[in-house]
């Protein structure tokens, strides 16, 4: 064979081999079984919601947890997730009975050496309240992550699958140990003491305006901004029923009888006061009557943002000493109610209650 022809043949063979190599599909990498197990407790909410189409109208708490898990791509590569349906309701229907059932199942899961962490799927309306309750009633050793969504699974660009995947990543992260209960929403990790829902529609509805978030989930590995603070259950649940605590809302023209009516039949009262937890003259008169009768009253801010600290005697009849009240610190009225419910399981003085609000009503060190 003449040399030019031989050379051409070699080139053709090399090209064919290269083409064949290019067309050969890559060998898939072997799947490594996840090494951690997460226990998921489902309660319903928008993350379990469904509508007739991709629009905004839907009903919360209708999709079973098994269907929700199957809608999250790659979840099984992150952790072994075992699930239990505790309830399937909109979180406007979450009550003490559901809290107690959750707490019982969480305690069982935390005692299991095979479980790395617990996740609770929850509606966003009262998500922050459940998370705060659990932060007080459970120890911090293993993470307890509360997660929800602002859009149902039937919506275009539903946020539930990503939020749930982020929650699993947080619950299995080594850095999440000793942090106790946390909220994960929209790539962000929050302390239950400081997080609150600020918008009724948008996916970035949750924020912590006084303190900011404690971490984020922008990659496969969650990032925390500060060291963990290990703790035991601050206020374990005792007995069959928690003390009833009511909330009164402050506004221009609120009268003494409005405060008395709100407190009727309650063991304690939280007032969502105007400004920095301020009360009208009529409200102050009713509050003095209540505290003189041994009913604890906590001042909070109706806007839910800011530190309501102790008013000193120099403020005269507005002072907490004059009113016999307790400063609610950074807690929203709803969270102040929860702290009081748990605290009043044991007889406590006003000074004792103030010390609890100074400790558990302020996020961070």
356 and 303 share a domain? Answer: yes
Q: Are 87 and 47 in contact (CB under 8 A)?
A: no
209 and 265 share a domain? Answer: no
Name the token pair of 180.
């106790």
Identify the CATH number of the domain in which residue 330 sits. 3.40.50.40
Residue 66 has pLDDT above 80, yes or no: yes
Percent of the chain with pLDDT over 90: 83
80 and 203 share a domain? Answer: yes
160 and 267 share a domain? Answer: no
Residue 9 has pLDDT above 50, yes or no: no
87 and 180 share a domain? Answer: yes
The answer as to whether 156 is a domain residue is yes
Alpha-carbon 178 to chain mean position: 16
41 and 175 share a domain? Answer: yes
Number of folded domains that form the chain: 2
pLDDT value at residue 30? 43
Name the token pair of 227.
């060291």
The answer as to whether 262 is a domain residue is yes
The answer as to whether 41 is a domain residue is yes
The answer as to whether 22 is a domain residue is no
**Could you tell me the pLDDT band of residue 316, with boundaries at 50, 70 and 90?**
confident
The overall average pLDDT reported for the chain is 91
pLDDT value at residue 48? 97
The answer as to whether 9 is a domain residue is no
Identify the CATH number of the domain in which residue 125 sits. 3.40.50.1170
113 and 178 share a domain? Answer: yes
Structural domain harbouring 254 = 245-360
Name the token pair of 288.
């003095």
55 and 195 share a domain? Answer: yes
| Pairing status of strand 206-207 against strand 196-197 | antiparallel
345 and 204 share a domain? Answer: no
Quick: pLDDT tens for 249-279.
Answer: 999 999 999 999 999 999 999 999 999 999 9
155 and 192 share a domain? Answer: yes
Count Cα neighbours of 147 within 13 Å in the Cβ-side half-sphere.
Answer: 31
Cα–Cα separations (whole angstroms), residue 177 to 13, 119, 140, 209, 230 = 59, 14, 7, 25, 8
The answer as to whether 76 is a domain residue is yes
The answer as to whether 351 is a domain residue is yes
175 and 269 share a domain? Answer: no
**Beta strand segments in the chain, E:** 37-44, 80-89, 115-121, 144-147, 181-185, 188-190, 196-197, 206-207, 215-216, 223-224, 245-249, 268-273, 297-301, 326-327
Residues with a catalytic annotation lie at: 46
Name the token pair of 135.
């932060």
The answer as to whether 20 is a domain residue is no
Least confident of 36-50, 53-67, 75-89: 53-67
207 and 340 share a domain? Answer: no
Q: Which of 224, 257, 278 is the last residue of a domain?
A: 224
**Could you tell me the pLDDT band of residue 20, with boundaries at 50, 70 and 90?**
very low
């Amino acid at each position: 064979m003449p040399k030019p022809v031989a050379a051409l043949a070699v080139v053709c063979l090399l090209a064919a081999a290269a083409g064949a190599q290019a067309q050969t599909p890559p060998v898939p990498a072997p799947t490594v079984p996840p090494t951690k197990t997460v226990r998921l407790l489902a309660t319903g909410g928008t993350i379990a919601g469904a509508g007739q189409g991709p629009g905004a109208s839907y009903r919360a708490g209708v999709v079973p947890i098994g269907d929700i898990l199957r809608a999250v791509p790659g979840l099984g590569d992150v952790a072994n997730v075992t699930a239990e349906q505790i309830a399937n309701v909109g979180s406007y229907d979450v009550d003490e009975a559901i809290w107690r059932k959750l707490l019982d199942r969480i305690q069982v899961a935390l005692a299991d050496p095979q479980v790395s962490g617990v996740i609770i799927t929850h509606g966003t309306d009262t998500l922050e309240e459940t998370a705060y309750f659990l932060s007080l009633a459970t120890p911090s050793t293993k993470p307890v992550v509360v997660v929800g969504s602002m859009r149902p699974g039937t919506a275009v660009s539903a946020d539930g699958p990503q939020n749930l995947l982020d929650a699993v990543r947080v619950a299995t992260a080594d850095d999440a140990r000793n942090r106790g209960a946390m909220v994960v929403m929209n790539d962000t990790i929050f302390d239950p003491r400081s997080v609150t829902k600020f918008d009724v529609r948008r996916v970035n509805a949750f924020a912590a305006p006084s303190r900011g978030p404690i971490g984020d989930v922008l990659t496969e590995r969650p990032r925390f901004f500060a060291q963990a603070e290990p703790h035991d259950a601050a206020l374990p649940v005792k007995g069959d029923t928690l003390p009833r605590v009511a909330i009164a809302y402050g506004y221009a023209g609120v009268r003494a009888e409005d405060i008395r009516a709100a407190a009727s039949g309650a063991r304690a009262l939280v007032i969502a006061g105007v400004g920095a937890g301020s009360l009208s003259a009529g409200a102050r008169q009713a509050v003095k009557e209540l505290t003189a009768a041994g009913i604890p009253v906590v001042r909070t801010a109706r806007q839910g943002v800011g530190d309501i600290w102790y008013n000193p005697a120099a403020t005269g009849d507005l002072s907490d000493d004059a009113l016999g009240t307790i400063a609610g610190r950074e807690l929203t009225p709803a969270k102040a109610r929860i702290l009081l419910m748990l605290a009043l399981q044991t007889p406590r003085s006003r000074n004792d209650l103030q010390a609890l609000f100074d400790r558990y009503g302020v996020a961070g060190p």
